[in-house]
Structure 1
Amino acid sequence: MTIRSRLTFLFTGIIAALLLAFALVVYFSFSENREDEYYSSLSHTAITKANLLLNAKVQPQVLQLIYKHSPNAQFQEEVAIYDTSFHLLYHDAVEIDKVKETRHMIDEIVSKKQIRFYQGDMQVVGIFYQLNSKDYVITSAANDQNGYAKLRNLKYTLIIAFFVSIIFIYIAGHIFSSKALKPVSDMVDEVEEITATNLDLRIKEGNGKDEIAELAVTFNAMLNRLEKSFDAQKDFVSNISHELRTPLTAMLTELQVTADKERSNEFYRDAIHHAISDAQKLVRLSNSLLDLAKANYDHTEIGFKELRLDELILDARNDALHDQPGCRINIIFEKEIEDDDFISVMGNEYLLKVAFINLIENGCKFSADKEVAVAINYFKEKTILRFQDHGIGMDAEEIPHIFTAFYRGSNQQFSGGNGIGLSLTKKIIELHKGTITVSSQRNEGTTFTVELPHI
């Protein structure tokens, strides 16, 4: 069942319940009022006849004649008058005797002064009445034909009005729900037009104030992220295809040339060395891609723990020296460490070490003297690391692009690489809620500044 249908039925059901409750209140209130009013009418008629008989001295035969010849005598009030000793003084129609009074009933009336009850469809009232210092008991009974007729008419009117109202309420509910959900329907139509080939399309955000607008804004933000992800994936596939093709093609060509005819041992050794070099490039590229994939994990999927940055820098220095033995890496503490918390962060040990190794090796590769200085400074809120070299540097127009994956600047001829290291480093630093900036001048060196918040 659609939301439109559920809203329509819910709206109709709630209003129908309220209408039903209102109709029942009206019906039972009218029924109770009819009963009270008719009891009052019976009492009034009984006292009037008693006054006519006992006070005005109207002959009983006259009162009986009036009773018998009145219109609709079958439903007229029948009055009987007794003394307290259960002696009948007057009766409108003894032969009919609707009430069938008993001595017990007379005693109850005397005791309670007035009683009311139903006898079949008739209402009966019994009254203890005093006149001229004498005590009398009066009973009056009748069927409220007109009152019941009005009650039936009210019941039928309420039933018809209820069901007619339900029909109109259902129609109104359907119109209301359709109008309320029209922005959602329009949004669905717009979303159906968005595919992988046109992720640049966006849905309308309406007035920007209600919940539908918030949903549209959220959905458009998701589309922005998806578009960026798709574009990054396209660029990644394109670049990785190019990066893999070059060493594989070189390796294949070298092996094909070597296998084409008999060669000298020296030629075979050179070919093997070239193949090993290309294979090493593929290994480095594969490792970089794996590290890049890890850095793109959801934050909740990566394990974090308390780490000392000085210890991580020392480990990164040892690993970098193992890969590049000729490099000189100087670690400088700009001020004494007073508290371990000032040099500690919550982070992933492996990823942070990869980022620091990349920055150290980057300085070694692009420095003629193969020397890098790592300065450690700290403040109350964050630790600052500076990776500085005096190498070939970069031009100002290249700096905005160096953190883009697979980007290779004009210095690529100075040292090999695949353009992943700095992009990977930036992702790792951002994953740890830090920042990385760079300053560089051609032929004067480069400084990368990393700021990481404390625990």
Structure 2
Amino acid sequence: MKIGNKLTLLFTGIIAGLLLIFALAVYVSYHKNRQEEYYKELDKIAITKANLLLNAKVAPSVLQLIYRNSRNILFDEEVAIYDTSFNLLYHDAVEIDKVKETKTMIDEIIKKKQIQFYQGQMQVIGLIYHHKSGDYILTAAAKDNFGYAKLNNLKYTLIISYLISVIFIYLSCLFFAKRALKPVSDLVDEVDEITATNLDLRINEGNGKDEIAELAITFNAMLNRLEKSFDAQKEFVSNISHELRTPLTAMLAELQLTLNKERSNDQYRESIHQAISDAQKVVKLSNSLLDMAKANYDRTEITFKELRIDEVLLDARSDLLNAHPGYKTNIIFEKEIEDDDFISIKGNEYLLKVAFINLMENGCKFSAEQECAVAITYHKNKTILRFQDHGIGIHQEELSQIFSPFFRGENKHFTEGNGIGLFLAKKIIDLHQGTIAVVSHVGEGTMFTLEFIHV
């Protein structure tokens, strides 16, 4: 069921329920008032006849004659008057005698002073009437035909009004629900037009204030992220294709040339060595891509634990020197570490090692002496690492692009690479909610500064 129909039925049900409670309250209230008013009316009629009989000394036969001549279908009250000894002094219609008074009833009236009850649909009242000649028992009974007629009329009026109101409420709710949800319908129509081929389209954000506008703004923000992601993916695939094609093509060409022509053992060894070198480039690129994929994970999906940065840095240095024995990496502790907390962060050891290795390797391979120095210190709530080399440096106009994937500047002629290392390092630092900054001067060297917040 659509939301519009659900809202229509929900609000119709709620309002219909409230109207039903209101109608029942009106009906019950009127019914109770009618009952009380008619008891009072019977009381007045009984006392009036008692006054005529006892004070005005009107003969019982005359009162009966008046009663018979005034009877009608709407007012048919029957009054009886007894003394306290249960002797009948007057009765409007003894032959009818609707109430059938008993000695027990008279005793109850004497005890309670006044009683009220129903006999079938008739209301009956009994009370003590104090007169100078003594106390008398009065009873009066009748069916409130006129009151019941008005009550029935009220009942049918309420039922008809209630049904008409429910129908009107349903149609009104249906109309307003459609109007209220029209922006959602328009939103759905606009979203249907957006596909992978036209991610540049955006939906109308309306007034920018209500909930629908918030939804549209959020959806457009998601589209912005998706569009950037798609564009980055296209660029990534294009760069990957190019980076993989170069060493694979070179390796294939070398092997084909070796196969097509007889060569000496030294030449075969040289060809195999070249093919191995190209294969190593592919392996290194593949490993970098895998590391980059891990660094692109959501932070909530990566395992973090408390780590000492100096220990991770020493492990990274060891791995780098094992892979490149000719590199030189010096680690300098600028302050004495008095407490583990001074250089501890919440992090992922593997990813941090990848970032540190990339930065140290970057410093070594762009230095003529293949040397890099790493200084570690702490300040207040931060741990600070500085990776410094005295290599060829980076041109100022290229500094803003060095963290882009597959970017290689003018220094690409100095040594081989694939342009992933710095991009990957920044990704990892961002995942650890750290910062990375770079200062470089051509011919003097480069320094990367990393800052991590303490745990």
TM-score, length of structure 1 as denominator length: 0.97
Q: Does the aligned pair in 1 maintain the 2:73–2:145 contact within 8 Å?
A: no
Residues 252-285 of structure 1 show CA distances to partners (whole Å, capped at 9, x for unaligned) of 1111122223332222222111110110001000
Letter in 1 for 2:361: E
Letter in 1 for 2:253: T
329-338 vs 48-57, which deviates more?
329-338
CA distance in 2, matches of 1:256, 1:350: 39
| Residue of structure 2 equivalent to 1:390 | 390
Shift of 1:291: 0.6
Shift of 1:37: 0.6
Matched, 1:243 2:243: yes
| Residue of structure 1 equivalent to 2:318 | 318
Residues 205-238 of structure 1 show CA distances to partners (whole Å, capped at 9, x for unaligned) of 3333332222222222222222221111111111
Q: How does 1:171-182 map to 2 (within 5 A)?
A: 171-182=171-182
Pairwise CA RMSD: 1.4
| Residue of structure 1 equivalent to 2:59 | 59
Which segments of structure 1 move beyond 3 Å, counting only runs of 4 or more? none
| 3-state secondary structure, aligned to 1:18 | helix
| 3-state secondary structure, aligned to 1:406 | coil
Letter in 2 for 1:224: N
Q: How many residues align?
A: 455
414-423 vs 216-225, which deviates more?
216-225
| Residue of structure 1 equivalent to 2:34 | 34
Matched, 1:198 2:198: yes
Residues 81-107 of structure 1 show CA distances to partners (whole Å, capped at 9, x for unaligned) of 111111111111111111111111111
CA distance in 1, matches of 2:381, 2:255: 57
| Residue of structure 2 equivalent to 1:285 | 285
CA distance in 2, matches of 1:435, 1:36: 85
Q: Does the aligned pair in 2 maintain the 1:388–1:446 contact within 8 Å?
A: yes
17-26 vs 107-116, which deviates more?
107-116
| 3-state secondary structure, aligned to 2:367 | coil
Matched, 1:68 2:37: no
Q: How does 1:402-413 map to 2 (within 5 A)?
A: 402-413=402-413
Shift of 1:346: 1.4
CA distance in 2, matches of 1:121, 1:326: 115
Q: Does the aligned pair in 1 maintain the 2:74–2:145 contact within 8 Å?
A: no
CA distance in 1, matches of 2:315, 2:45: 113
CA distance in 2, matches of 1:72, 1:106: 28
Shift of 1:71: 4.6
Letter in 1 for 2:27: Y
Q: Does the aligned pair in 2 maintain the 1:67–1:73 contact within 8 Å?
A: no
Letter in 2 for 1:217: I
Q: How does 1:299-310 map to 2 (within 5 A)?
A: 299-310=299-310
CA distance in 1, matches of 2:237, 2:100: 105
Letter in 1 for 2:215: L
| Residue of structure 2 equivalent to 1:208 | 208
Shift of 1:75: 4.5
Matched, 1:228 2:228: yes
| 3-state secondary structure, aligned to 1:397 | helix
Q: Does the aligned pair in 1 maintain the 2:378–2:384 contact within 8 Å?
A: yes
| 3-state secondary structure, aligned to 2:236 | helix
Residues 338-366 of structure 1 show CA distances to partners (whole Å, capped at 9, x for unaligned) of 22211221111111111111111111111
| Residue of structure 2 equivalent to 1:120 | 120
Letter in 1 for 2:425: T
Residues 154-195 of structure 1 show CA distances to partners (whole Å, capped at 9, x for unaligned) of 000000011110011111111222222222222222221221
Letter in 1 for 2:360: I
CA distance in 1, matches of 2:338, 2:268: 60
CA distance in 1, matches of 2:166, 2:328: 88
| Residue of structure 1 equivalent to 2:19 | 19
Matched, 1:6 2:6: yes
Q: Does the aligned pair in 2 maintain the 1:437–1:448 contact within 8 Å?
A: yes
> Residues 83 and 418 of structure 1: is their aligned pair in 2 closer, same or farther, counting only changes over 3 Å?
same
| Residue of structure 2 equivalent to 1:369 | 369
| 3-state secondary structure, aligned to 1:398 | helix
49-58 vs 203-212, which deviates more?
203-212
| Residue of structure 1 equivalent to 2:418 | 418
CA distance in 2, matches of 1:107, 1:321: 118
CA distance in 2, matches of 1:196, 1:232: 14
Q: How does 1:242-281 map to 2 (within 5 A)?
A: 242-281=242-281
Shift of 1:19: 0.6
Letter in 1 for 2:321: L
330-339 vs 51-60, which deviates more?
330-339
| Residue of structure 2 equivalent to 1:432 | 432
Identity %: 72
CA distance in 2, matches of 1:131, 1:23: 45
Unmatched runs of 5 consecutive residues or more in structure 1: none
| 3-state secondary structure, aligned to 2:397 | coil
CA distance in 2, matches of 1:423, 1:159: 76
| 3-state secondary structure, aligned to 2:70 | coil
